[in-house]
Amino acid sequence: MSREARPRHELGHVSASLQRFFGYVCDPEVMRTAYRCRAYPDRQQQAVLNRTFGCIRVVWNRTLAARRARWQHQRMGTSYAETDAALTAMKRDPDLAFLSEVSSVPLQQALRHQHQAFSAFFAQRARYPRFKSRRGRQCAHYTRSAFSLRGGELRLAKTAAPLPFVWSWPEVDVTALGPTMVIVSREPDGRWYVTFALDTGASEPLTQTGRGVGIDLGVTDFAVTSDGGKITNPRYLERKARSLARYQRRLARCQKGSANRARAAAKVARAHRKVRCARRDFLHRASTRLVRGNDLIVIEDLAVTNMVKNRRLARAISDCGWDEFRRQLAYKCERAGRRLIVIDRWYPSSKTCSPCGHLLAELSLSTRHWTCPSCGARHDRDINAAKNILAAGLAAAACGAGIRHQETSPVRPAVKQEPQPVTAGIPVLQGGE
């Protein structure tokens, strides 16, 4: 059956149920925008920035060690004001006099970030903060008092010449930017980047399409939509697995601290960077296409952290980038005036018949197609799950249940409430099951 000949409900047109949701437009007053581009510092600037990165590591690691020791011995927390006073004491230490040779703004920003990291840890949104290593990604945050951007030239504190960078957005005038923060970073492969963070007004919402879509994420197919479309999983990490293994074996054979080991580590980092950039580009293209084509997007709240504990599927799941895909959908929907609904992860979308609502007692992961014993409908597992996800999102938005909000505690899922009459897309127990 051609796409033009399909019924409207199979194409994702659920206008009768979506009309009350299409008026929802996120209209924040201020939005944070960031532009990241390549930087090419000269040798003198690299020396200053590398020295700044080293001082940031010293401040971060010493402050983190002091926090841990104070908690272990005194059972007392540490406030940001106390860490700020400790930074002043560090600069007075003759052994740490080099801290005064770099700008103080990145050092203070490191303390603020550590305080935020602990707040996220206590709120159970992140893991415990770790010590910084010189072998990982290095970055320094400069606020307005430590940089100037005039006429398209960026000057940082403690540097004489402007920092060269390549602007990659011809539709945006770099001379008219008013960034609130500039982030200079160095990747493990040796590349330098500069990021301009600025506050902008709300963007114009996209034209409404009258369409909604449910998305079922997977490994074989990256995403299956409720209209029957499938987005193939590119498996970028799997493509580079053999090259990465060869580079890592060469790295393991090199003597620690040698120049050959540094070059081998750079090759490993470059291979990972190519995989990371290709995956990010794929996710941006897929998320942008979905946001532009639909007014309502419904996805599942997947517990990726728990799923990667399966050692047989950990690499394949990590290669998909589901968390990054959800993050991109969230901010792009907010900017475009679309609505994103995240349903409960325990919703039985795969084993529920989308036409009649019959709920199977068991459905193994290896079963990709199944026939409903109630109405006789033949289902593709993933397409059926995507249809149920869309229906559950509409029902949950109508009653205010089953939605996972990122800023508030989860609401009681709709599937845990009292049984409801048989409705398409909503699971109902049949025959006393």
What's 359's DSSP letter?
A: B
* Three-point CA angle 276, 198, 153, nearest 5°: 90
Cβ-based burial of 347 (10 A; exposed 0-12, middle 13-18, buried ≥19): buried
Please report which helix (H) or strand (E) contains residue 277, including its range: helix 259-293
Please report which helix (H) or strand (E) contains residue 39, including its range: strand 30-39
Residue 247, number of CB atoms within 10 A of its CB: 20
**CA contacts within 13 A on the Cβ side of 316:** 11
423 alpha carbon, distance to own chain's centre:
35
Cβ-based burial of 213 (10 A; exposed 0-12, middle 13-18, buried ≥19): buried
Distance CA 26, CA 329 (A): 14
Could you say which of 300, 301, 334, 344 is catalytic? 300
Cβ-based burial of 381 (10 A; exposed 0-12, middle 13-18, buried ≥19): buried
Residue with tokens 């080293």, as numbered in its chain? 54
| Residues found in the chain | 433
Query: Which of 58, 184, 77 has its CA nearest to residue 122?
Result: 77
What's 163's DSSP letter?
A: B
Specify which residues 299 forms β-bridges with: 342
Active site residue 300: yes
**CA contacts within 13 A on the Cβ side of 7:** 4
Radius of gyration, alpha carbons of the chain = 26
**CA contacts within 13 A on the Cβ side of 38:** 5
Distance CA 293, CA 238 (A): 30
Could you say which of 187, 227, 344, 382 is catalytic? 382
The string over 310-345, giving b where at least 16 C-beta atoms fall within 10 Å of a residue's C-beta and e elsewhere, is: eeeeeebbebbbbeebbebbbebbbbbbbbbbbbbe
Active site residue 216: yes
Residue with tokens 């307005």, as numbered in its chain? 144
Could you say which of 187, 216, 227, 301 is catalytic? 216
Contacts of residue 60, Cβ cutoff 8 Å, sequence gap at least 6 = 110, 114, 131, 132
Question: Catalytic positions, please?
Answer: 216, 300, 382
